[in-house]
Structures are given as C-alpha cells and as structure tokens.
Amino acid sequence: MTIGPRVPGMPVLQKNANVDDGLLVRVGIPHSGGRLAFHAFNEGYPAMVSASAFWNRTTGRFRIPRATDLTEIDFALDSAGFSAMKLFQSKGGQSGIAGVYPWTMEQYVELASSSGASWVAQPDMCCEPELAADQDAIDYRVNATATLLEAMLRVVYAWQDQLAATCSAEVVQNTIRIPVPVAQGLRISFG
C-alpha cells in the first residue's frame, strides 16, 4: 500500500464523538484531579468533567494540570452550563459567553482542543426548573443554546481554516474538534 503526501486542507465528514454500541454511563467529576479522578482511573470509569473544574477565577484563564488522572481516562468535557447559570444568578453578568459564562468562546474552544477530552459539549443554557421557571424562560434557553452551538461552530471553523493552510485535514480535525450539540428542554414538543 502506498500512502501519498498529506496536503493541507479542511476536514470533511468530521465526527464530534466516537460512539460504541450500548449505553455508556459517565461519572461526573467536579475537579481537575483529586480523589474522584484517582478513583475513576483505578476503576476504569469513563467520566464527564465540567469546564469549571479547569477555570481559575483569579487569572481568568483555564488551567490544565501537568499531571492528573484525567489524562489517563476516557473523559468528556461538559461546558458547565448549570454552574454558569447559578453563578449568573448569584453574581450577575459575567464577562464571557452570552454574559453568563466567565470564559469566552475562544477560551472554551482552546480548552476543548488542549484538554485531551474524547468529546466536548457545546456551551448551553440549561433548562432545570430552578433556573427556568416558566415556558418562556425554557423557550429562550432552547433558542440560546442553538445560537451558542452556531457561535462555537463559527470559532471552530475559523480556527480550522487557519490551521488548514499548513496542516493536513486529519491534523486539523484532531486539533480543533467540533462540539457535541446539547438538546435542551424538559419535555418533548413538536410545535
């Protein structure tokens, strides 16, 4: 078999997550290391880690530890939508995404690209009853979540396009990953 030269270019038919047959349950880990991450590593549990676990409020930047058990396990990155909404409720407007998150979309895409997560959830506006009291609030959050997906895809596309000038499509798609969309709402609505 002959392998030709890899030419720069944009990836096509990208996958945002590799899905195996069957149900995969992930354990939630609220920190970037520590006992829960160690236990998940020892037991071979797949995990879901909140972006807020990596956020440093003092510096206003994400921080990925040099050594953590998370890098040795299958973990997915959650956008911390519920945490962001609770922070917004308690402290008011934030300087990041949609005035709700403390980090920008660019910072989140950078975290997604450098964290080693097997997949990354888009930023979302959660619809739990304690945060969305009525149908208007839920509808707003569903629409806002769709808008945030578009915003993240625009940042990802721009960064992939920049990288594609010098890297193969495979390198581009593995470096700057597309997000997994988040479906919002508490009830199914067909209207």
Mean pLDDT of 115-127: 94
Q: Where are the domains of the chain?
A: 27-175
- Residue 45 exposed, middle or buried by CB count within 10 Å (0-12, 13-18, 19+): middle
Residue type at position 84: A
Report the pLDDT value the prediction gives residue 104, as an integer from 0 to 100: 98
pLDDT at 9 (0 to 100): 83
Q: Cα(88)–Cα(111) distance, rounded to whole angstroms?
A: 21
pLDDT of 130 reads 87
Residue 18: pLDDT band (50, 70, 90) is confident
Q: Residues 61, 107: contact at Cβ < 8 Å?
A: yes
Is the model's pLDDT at 1 over the cut of 60? Answer: no
- What's the whole-number mean pLDDT along residues 150-177? 95
**How many CA atoms are closer than 13 Å to the CA of 73, on its beta-carbon side?**
26
Closest of 112, 191, 97, 76 to residue 147, by C-alpha? 97
What are 87-118's pLDDT values in tens digits? 888 888 889 999 999 999 999 999 999 999 99
- What's the rounded Cα separation, in Å, for the pair 17 and 184? 19
**Amino acid code (one letter) for 9:** G
Distance of CA 106 to the CA centre of its chain: 12
- Kindly report the average pLDDT of the chain as a whole number: 89
- How many of the other CB atoms lie within 10 Å of CB of 46? 14
Q: Smallest Cα–Cα separation from 145: which of 178, 181, 110, 119?
A: 181
Integer CA distances (angstroms), 50 to 94, 95, 146, 171, in order? 18, 19, 20, 26
Q: Which residues contact 191 (CB under 8 A, 6 or more apart)?
A: none
The sign one gets for the Cα dihedral 63, 67, 68, 70 is positive
The pLDDT, as a whole number, for residue 186 is: 66
Model confidence pLDDT, tens digit, residues 31-79: 888 888 889 999 999 999 999 999 999 999 999 888 788 888 899 999 9
- pLDDT confidence bin for 189, thresholds 50/70/90: low
Q: In the predicted model, what is the mean pLDDT of residues 14-22? A: 84
Q: What is the mean pLDDT of residues 4-29?
A: 82
Question: What percent of the chain shows pLDDT beyond 90?
Answer: 57
